[in-house]
């Protein structure tokens, strides 16, 4: 099974509130569909929030929990924004003839300090058994420590990879991979393994745009942990470049940064 993320930085313009990129969403849905033509495989799609939920999440500081009554409005707005963007992804995939089903994380996940502690995956497993494609997304989640928190698509993938039989994770972003900021050339790193953890995480800032869940840094940290503890290989690639996602889904490696066990 593959987990694929359509990054919020790709499917929306993160510098402008509520601006989805419909042409890009359509292209990525078609790339996913084409990758299935020759041989079908189990797939879970996740979409990032981009300029939909990140905007109200940041305005009401929802990721920090329920500090005052104002945050409750943020919960409602984030939940709505995240679901609305997810429906656009779901519609685009249905238009390609893929049988996808939206999974609303806020209805079934329980978190503690932004980490998922409970999620019954039986339903998702049954959907996969029926050859349906679940589409998950970063969402605002009930948190037993702080009331509510924001759980990113990466955090959701982390839980799925720890509890289902996941072979590969592909993260579509708006950069060519993880950039080594120590170099003036700012070239992407080809391969990262757990022994690189120290220098790589200090070389990554969060996101340059608004991102309440830690941007590239959290992505790399979670994927390194999955490589180390579960032996799962991931790749972060540039999904704004047409065709790269499709090739990766078909098994081609190396267009972006590969994160794998030592």
Ligand X SMILES: Nc1ncnc2c1ncn2[C@@H]1O[C@H](COP(=O)(O)OP(=O)(O)OP(=O)(O)O)[C@@H](O)[C@H]1O
Binding interface with ligand X (CB under 6 A): 7-10, 48-50, 54, 153, 173-175, 178-179, 181, 203-205, 207-209, 211, 213, 215-216
Quickly count: other Cβ atoms within 10 Å of residue 155's Cβ: 23
- Minimum distance of Mg ion from residue 207's CB (angstroms): 6
Would you call 23 exposed, middle or buried from its count of C-beta atoms within 10 A (0-12, 13-18, 19+)?
exposed
- Minimum distance of ligand X from residue 204's CB (angstroms): 4
* Segment interacting with Mg ion (CB under 5 A) among 33-41, 115-123, 208-216, 222-230: 208-216
Q: Is 31 in the site for Mg ion (CB under 5 A)?
A: no
Would you call 185 exposed, middle or buried from its count of C-beta atoms within 10 A (0-12, 13-18, 19+)?
exposed
Which residue lies nearer to ligand X by CB, 155 or 246?
155
- Minimum distance of Mg ion from residue 43's CB (angstroms): 21
Backbone φ and ψ of 43, nearest 5°:
-140, 140
Q: Which does 204 bind (CB under 5 to 8 A by kind): ligand X, Mg ion, none?
A: ligand X
Taking CB atoms, the residue at the shortest distance from ligand X is 48
Specify the DSSP class assigned to residue 188: B
Give the number of residues in contact with Mg ion, rule: CB under 5 A: 1
Which residue lies nearer to Mg ion by CB, 174 or 211?
211
Quickly count: other Cβ atoms within 10 Å of residue 224's Cβ: 22
Q: Which does 174 bind (CB under 5 to 8 A by kind): Mg ion, ligand X, none?
A: ligand X
Q: Is 211 in the site for Mg ion (CB under 5 A)?
A: yes
Q: What is the distance between the alpha carbons of residues 233 and 193, in angstroms, rounded to a whole number?
A: 10
- Closest by alpha carbon to 145, among 109, 113, 107? 113
- Residues at the interface with Mg ion (CB under 5 A): 211
């Amino acid at each position: 099974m593959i987990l694929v993320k359509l990054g919020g930085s790709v499917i929306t313009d993160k510098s402008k509130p509520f601006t989805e990129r419909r042409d890009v969403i359509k292209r990525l849905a078609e790339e996913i569909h084409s990758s299935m033509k020759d041989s079908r495989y189990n797939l879970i799609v996740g979409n990032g929030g981009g300029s939909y939920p990140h905007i109200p999440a940041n305005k009401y500081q929802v990721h920090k929990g329920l500090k005052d009554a104002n945050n409750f409005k943020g919960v409602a707005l984030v939940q709505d924004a995240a679901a609305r963007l997810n429906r656009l992804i779901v519609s685009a995939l249905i238009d390609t003839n893929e049988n996808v089903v939206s999974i609303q994380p806020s209805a079934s996940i329980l978190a503690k300090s932004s980490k998922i502690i409970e999620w019954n995956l039986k339903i998702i497993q049954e959907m996969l058994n029926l050859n349906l494609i679940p589409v998950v997304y970063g969402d605002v989640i009930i948190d037993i420590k702080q009331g509510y928190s924001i759980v990113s698509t990466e955090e959701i993938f982390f839980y799925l990879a720890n509890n289902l039989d996941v072979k590969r994770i592909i993260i579509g972003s708006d950069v060519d991979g993880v950039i080594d900021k120590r170099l003036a050339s700012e070239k992407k790193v080809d391969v990262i393994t757990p022994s690189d953890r120290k220098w790589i995480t200090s070389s990554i800032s969060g996101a340059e745009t608004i991102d309440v869940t830690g941007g590239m840094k959290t992505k790399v940290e979670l994927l390194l942990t999955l490589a180390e503890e579960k032996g799962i290989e991931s790749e972060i690639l540039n999904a704004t470049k047409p065709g790269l996602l499709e090739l990766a889904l078909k098994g081609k490696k190396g267009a972006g940064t590969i994160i794998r066990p030592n």
